[in-house]
Chains A and B, each alone.
Chain A
Amino acid sequence: MTFVTFLMTHKRPININLFKIQLPLSALLSITHRISGILIFFIVLPVTAIALSFMYESQQSYDNFVNFYSTNSFIKLIFISLVLIFQYHIFTGIRHLLIDFHLLAENLSSSFRSAVITLLLFLFNAIATIRIML
């Protein structure tokens, strides 16, 4: 077997070890934006839609749900995280849109700064959301 045919037939390894690769903050934001998008599609939207349809059945079911929510802290925790996932997706998504419209400069320092600002805004918003929903 010549070296060339060996290379053609041999399955060669690929070095992708995400724990060993440094990613800039903007990359982490983009990846988590995508993950939150997947979560919204498969979890946040179905769960909230089911909850909404349940609440809208009758005045009685609405009251039941409100009662259930306000007395059960585990359910509260779940709904707060659903809302936060949705909000995170919106915040990072707006940052992406601003970059796409060239409203934020496309260089390393500006992208890092906008990532930090996005995270800070999300954090403040998250604190407010948690205070309202608790």
Chain B
Amino acid sequence: MAKDILEINMYRYNPEQDKFPYIKNYSIEKPAKDIMVLDLLHLLKEQDESISYRRSCREGVCGSDGMNINGKNGLACITPISSILKNNKIELRPLPGLPVIRDLVVDMTEFYAQYEKIKPFLQNNTTAPEQERLQSPADRDKLDGLYECILCACCSTSCPSFWWNPDKFLGPAALLQAYRFLADTRDLKTNERLDELSDPFSVYRCHGIMNCVSSCPKGLNPNKAIGKIKTMLLRDKKEIITSDGVMN
């Protein structure tokens, strides 16, 4: 009957009791139905109430329960255990690279600080029309694959460049949003936004290794958006050279 027992290794850390994090082993009978990792966590919490994790909507919309499941970042609530099971073993760890507050809960301050840096709001100081600023359907289509981000941090915390420079490299999540506003025809601060991104760290620490794409639970492609930002930065430079006759 050993086959029907799930073995779960969980990263545990309680700053009030533990000096160092440790891995705790749990065994649980394999549920008859294919449940999500979040449901599994609920079952574990019945065994051990001290387990901590974030969760809210339990349907992949709020982005609270991002965690490292068997080595891959993802949302626990939309990851069926059948999709990640290897020899009935599951390893649950907090998102890599961010300070652990307790168990699977990480401190997202650095992540949000990077998001704040890209000014994630529409900047347009022309007088607003009576109803709304209109876009052509073609221009609106440019935002598909960009606006759907739920800021779960699965991508940024899977990125080695973000692990190295969480304060200087914006990370895939923030850069996807940066491109979301660069691509928006209603936003008029494109050049200012590009100026802010032109330092060696903000964008250029990305080397296109695709960790962000492979971990995004919403199937978005920050890597492609970053590539487009890089191209825009080059174009921006060119315009400056031709219009002023000097190179900045």
Contacts and interface: CB of A to CB of B under 8 A. Distances in A.
Interface of A: 6-7, 10, 12-17, 20-24, 26-27, 29-31, 96, 99-100, 102, 106-108, 111
Interface string B147-175: 00000000000101001000000000000
Given A10-B15, A15-B93, A107 B224 contact: yes
B221 A106 contact: yes
B129 to A, nearest CB: 36
A14 B111 CA distance: 14
Interface stretch (B41-49, B95-103, B236-244): B95-103
B207 A16 contact: no
Interface stretch (B75-83, B183-191, B195-203, B210-218): B210-218
A104 to B, nearest CB: 9
Given A13-B100, A14-B97, A26 B227 contact: no
Contacts of B224: 106-107
A15 B21 contact: yes
B101 A12 contact: yes
Contacts of B70: 22
Nearest to A23: B211
Sort A-B residue pairs by CB-CB distance and give the 10 closest, nearest first: A22-B71, A12-B99, A27-B209, A106-B224, A30-B209, A26-B210, A22-B72, A111-B210, A13-B21, A15-B94
Interface string B44-86: 0000000000000000000000001011100000000000000
B179 interface: no
A83 to B, nearest CB: 25
Instruction: Indicate the member of A7, A21, A102 with the most B CB atoms within 10 Å.
Output: A21
Nearest to B214: A24
17 contacts: A6-B15, A7-B101, A13-B13, A13-B20, A15-B11, A17-B96, A21-B68, A24-B209, A27-B160, A27-B209, A31-B160, A96-B208, A100-B230, A107-B213, A107-B221, A108-B213, A108-B214
Nearest to B21: A13
Interface of B: 11, 13, 15-16, 20-21, 68, 70-72, 91, 93-101, 106-107, 158, 160, 163, 207-211, 213-214, 221, 223-224, 227, 230-231
A20 B209 CA distance: 18
Contact of B208 (A15, A17, A99): A99
Contacts of A26: 208-210
A27 B210 contact: yes
Given A13-B100, A27-B209, A30-B208, 16 more contacts: A12-B100, A12-B101, A13-B20, A14-B99, A15-B94, A17-B96, A20-B71, A21-B68, A22-B70, A22-B71, A22-B72, A24-B209, A24-B211, A31-B160, A102-B227, A102-B231
